């Protein structure tokens, strides 16, 4: 289906607003809960680095993340222009199963794409001009979740473009996925381990990706390349111990 140029501008405005809003809600909520609430016992017990965030780092993370929201919205505004809303094909219990299957599909595809593109972004010849900005945050705050350069931001979402255009993923699934994705991303950058520590040794739950793992990635600037799970890191031997 060709792009409807008359719909590009309103779609860009709507999606820039959506991406900026979901980022600010997720990152702002994590900041208020873990760091603005000074007496939060979880932060006291489970903070991942003892160094304080600098005002300059948080300001950079916030501004570059909002720029990423602008890139995301502009890109998808063009991609979505002229596309109809895709409904679920079923109702009732079958709709719930259909929704869950599509959501699981998106999480699986994105987790795989993110691992390999993220690992490539750390190649010595690629890292300086693609991904170095994100790693200026050695002690990332929740606001670092979308702190990317412009090209890095495009790479982050390139996987979704062909799916939006040619795979009939229901629109409500994309919407829920977008909020789930930013929520998990913010958790990885929140500077505190919110999950029970016992989960990291659990035979099933250990396959999740924990804030501890992504914080280690920012400190070491290598390894722990996963987003939703640690599966690819475990299979490929890039899990930091």
pTM assigned to the model: 0.95
Q: What does the pLDDT look like over 12-35, one tens digit per residue? A: 999 999 999 999 999 999 999 999
In a domain, residue 87? The reply is yes
Residue identified by tokens 């040794």 is 201
Q: What is the pLDDT of residue 88?
A: 97
Burial class from Cβ neighbours inside 10 Å (0-12, 13-18, 19+) for residue 124 reads exposed
Q: What is the pLDDT of residue 101?
A: 98
Q: What does the pLDDT look like over 62-77, one tens digit per residue? A: 999 999 999 999 999 9
Q: What is the pLDDT of residue 241?
A: 82
What's the total number of domains in the chain? 1
Q: What is the pLDDT of residue 82?
A: 85
Q: Which structural domain, as residue segments, surrounds residue 100?
A: 5-236
In a domain, residue 112? The reply is yes
In a domain, residue 215? The reply is yes
Distance between CA atoms of residues 211 and 204, nearest Å = 17
In a domain, residue 241? The reply is no
């Amino acid at each position: 289906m060709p792009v409807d140029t008359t719909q590009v501008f309103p779609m860009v405005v709507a999606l820039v607003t959506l991406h900026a809003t979901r980022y600010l809600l997720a990152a702002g909520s994590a900041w208020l809960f873990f760091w603005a609430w000074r007496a939060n016992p979880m932060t006291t017990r489970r903070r991942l680095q003892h160094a304080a965030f600098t005002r300059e780092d948080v300001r950079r993370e916030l501004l570059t993340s909002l720029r990423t929201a602008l890139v995301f919205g502009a890109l998808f505004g063009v991609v979505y222009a002229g596309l109809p809303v895709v409904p679920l094909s079923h109702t009732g219990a079958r709709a719930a199963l259909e929704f869950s299957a599509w959501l699981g599909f998106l999480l699986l595809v994105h987790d795989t794409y993110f691992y390999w593109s993220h690992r490539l972004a750390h190649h010595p010849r690629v890292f300086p001009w693609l991904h170095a900005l994100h790693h200026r945050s050695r002690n990332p705050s929740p606001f670092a979740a979308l702190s990317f350069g412009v090209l890095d931001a495009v790479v982050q979402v390139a996987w979704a473009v062909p799916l939006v255009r040619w795979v009939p993923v229901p629109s409500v699934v994309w919407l829920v996925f977008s909020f789930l994705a930013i929520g998990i991303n913010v958790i990885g950058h929140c500077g505190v381990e919110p999950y029970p520590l016992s989960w990291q040794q659990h035979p099933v739950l250990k396959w999740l990706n924990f804030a501890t793992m992504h914080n280690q990635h920012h400190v070491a600037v290598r390894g722990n390349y996963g987003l939703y799970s640690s599966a690819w890191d475990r299979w490929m031997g890039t899990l930091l111990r």
